[in-house]
Amino acid sequence: MKYRSAAAGLIASAAAVTAVSGQPALYSSAADTTCIGYGQGTAVDGENRPDGAVQFTQRYEELDAAALSKDTKRIILTFDQGYENGYTAAILDTLKEKDAKAIFFLTGDYAKREESLVKRMIAEGHMLGNHGMTHASLPKLSDDEAREEIMSLHEFVLNNYGYEMQYFRCPCGEYSERALELIQECGYKTLFWSFAYVDWITDSQPLPAEGIQKLTASAHGGEILLLHSVSSTNAQILGEVIDNFRAMGYTV
């Protein structure tokens, strides 16, 4: 399989999503294969940034992996697209109305089934991200299987949509140092998130007021916000949340 070089100019206006500057990378030269479940945690620093996201970003800078953006004036919206639940069109409508862009992380099944929505994402200026062909946990795969999980979806999207993805989000929120190395070797940057809340359980959605309060209270510079498009609450509150972020002085 042909592998591409690391892409440049990933989010020009956000100066790329890499590490908090001035901190050394702490991973070992012999990459660990231990499976780790990522989570930003609840403790925050003086800038309201979750400690877990800050530490992850500092630790894995040299592996092109981050949970925060360096752009402290910006909040980056990301959506994980595992399956369609009827709300993505409304989310796209709101993003268009608010003149905001997002990164949509596609699984292979979504990329194959939802052609019209994927084409709309591209046409309206959003970014597509790679969430794995089968949404398999990379640390639980062999090196060859992990490469196939990443690159088979990469090639499918490139061949069918003419779009070259540049960011990878680890399925199941699970990673290892070796998995991050493999993602980098495939020419990708790894993006986790600095805030997420439980929005993916479709039969137990948070109330709109609760969602707005959580998302607004958690806002911080450089935030990478993880949302799920299967959430009816997210589709309902997205416009107000964007307005709140902008009222706080952030670019979305």
Q: Is the pLDDT of residue 197 over 50?
A: yes
CATH 3.20.20.370 is right for the domain spanning 46-247? yes
What is the Cα–Cα distance from 101 to 222, expressed in whole angstroms? 15
Whether the per-residue pLDDT at 196 is higher than 90: the answer is: yes
Paired tokens of 45:
């620093």
**What pLDDT does 2 receive?**
36
Helices 115-123/143-161 angle, 10° precision = 70
**pLDDT exceeding 90 applies to what percent of the chain?**
84
Check whether 90 has a pLDDT greater than 50: yes
Residue 16 has pLDDT above 80, yes or no: no
Question: Catalytic residues, which ones?
Answer: 80, 228
Q: What's the gap between Cα 31 and its chain centre?
A: 23
The confidence band for 29, taking pLDDT boundaries of 50, 70 and 90, is very low
Average pLDDT over the chain, rounded to whole?
A: 90
171-180 average pLDDT score: 97
Per the CB < 8 A criterion, the answer to whether 200 and 228 are in contact is yes
pLDDT band at 203 (very low <50, low <70, confident <90, very high): confident
pLDDT at 232 over 90: yes
Lowest mean pLDDT among 160-169, 203-212, 219-228: 203-212
- To the question of pTM greater than 0.85 for the whole model, the response is yes
Tell me the mean pLDDT in the region 175-200: 96
Confidence bin at 30 (pLDDT 50/70/90): low
pLDDT at 50 over 60: yes
Give me the percent of the chain exceeding a pLDDT of 70: 88
Q: What is the pLDDT of residue 31?
A: 81
What's the mean pLDDT in 28-56? 91
In this structure, the dihedral spanned by the alpha carbons of residues 204, 100, 131 and 206, taken in order and rounded to 10 degrees, is -10
